[in-house]
């Protein structure tokens, strides 16, 4: 079973926040808000009280499926459990959530948006100087972009252009016209999720 990264496994050079610390504090606070004891939450989520205790102390390596069950028992989303509690941008999480035995095997939860109907997953590439103009979508549509190569410029009506470099991402509401542009000399490749 895949587990959330434990802080002891993180290399010293990895400066990402420890998602287990966020989970520990969030589970503890949400459990208290809802008036659950550790035993009560354990019963509601179908896990042991010992697991709840380990999660809240930051000592347990917890599976992603266990976090899903805890989120459901607490009436929140998975992302609410793993997000830093002081995070101001509710879409951007950017936390290392899983690591395999090999350091090259890892999963980073970049961000989330609510979805009511559908999500589309796209791969895109733009040659140097190429642009893609898009009309405004409905108010509840979102774009989630992750750049794999090059630099993508996103221009939205009424906002400053945003440059998204290799390895970075951008999440925005697509309720006004926008443009994807490659203003660089080389190609840009990115993953695009459209959520509505």
DSSP assignments along 129-157, one per residue: T-EEEE----TT-EEEEEEEESEEEEEET
pLDDT value, residue 108: 76
Mean pLDDT of 163-169: 97
The 10 Å Cβ neighbour count of residue 11 is: 8
pLDDT value, residue 113: 78
Mean of the per-residue pLDDT values for the chain? 84
Predicted confidence (pLDDT) per residue in 83-106, tens digit: 877 776 567 777 777 666 677 777
Encoded tokens for 98? 């899983």
Name the phi and psi angles at 112, rounded to 5. -140, 155
Predicted confidence (pLDDT) per residue in 102-119, tens digit: 777 777 778 887 777 778
Tracing tokens 């496994």 back to the chain, one arrives at 9
Residue 12 has pLDDT above 80, yes or no: no
The dihedral sign for the CA sequence 162, 166, 172, 175: positive
Q: Per-residue confidence at 21, pLDDT binned at 50, 70, 90? A: confident
Residue extents of the structural domains in the chain: 7-111, 119-195
Residue 17 has pLDDT above 80, yes or no: no
Name the nearest CA neighbour of 53 among 35, 27, 79: 27
Residue 137 has pLDDT above 80, yes or no: yes
Coil, strand or helix at 69: helix
Encoded tokens for 43? 């019963």
Mean pLDDT of 18-43: 91
- Has this prediction a pTM greater than 0.75? no
Name the phi and psi angles at 191, rounded to 5. -100, 135
Coil, strand or helix at 187: coil
pLDDT value, residue 138: 83
Looking at domain 119-195, does it have CATH number 3.40.50.300?
no
Q: Per-residue confidence at 1, pLDDT binned at 50, 70, 90? A: very low
Write down the CATH number for the domain with range 7-111: 1.10.260.40
DSSP 185: S
Mean pLDDT of 51-59: 91
Residue 10 has pLDDT above 60, yes or no: no
Q: Do domains 7-111 and 119-195 have the same CATH topology?
A: no
DSSP assignments along 17-49, one per residue: --HHHHHHHHHHHHHHHTT--HHHHHHHHTS-H
């Amino acid at each position: 079973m895949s587990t959330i990264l434990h802080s002891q496994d993180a290399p010293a050079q990895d400066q990402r926040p420890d998602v287990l610390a966020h989970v520990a504090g969030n589970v503890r606070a949400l459990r208290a808000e809802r008036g659950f004891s550790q035993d009560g939450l354990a019963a509601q989520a179908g896990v042991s009280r010992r697991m709840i205790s380990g999660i809240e102390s930051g000592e347990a390596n917890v599976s992603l499926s266990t976090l899903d069950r805890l989120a459901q028992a607490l009436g929140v989303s998975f992302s609410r459990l793993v997000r830093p509690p002081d995070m101001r941008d509710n879409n951007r999480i950017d936390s290392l959530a899983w690591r395999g035995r090999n350091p090259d095997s890892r999963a980073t939860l970049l961000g989330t948006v609510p979805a009511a109907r559908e999500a589309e997953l796209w791969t895109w590439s733009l040659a140097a100087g190429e642009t893609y103009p898009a009309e405004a979508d409905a108010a509840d549509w979102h774009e989630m972009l992750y750049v794999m190569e090059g630099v993508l410029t996103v221009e939205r009506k009424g906002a400053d252009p945003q440059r998204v470099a290799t390895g970075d991402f951008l999440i925005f509401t697509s309720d006004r016209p926008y443009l994807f542009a490659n203003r660089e000399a080389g190609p840009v490749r990115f993953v695009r999720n459209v959520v509505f």
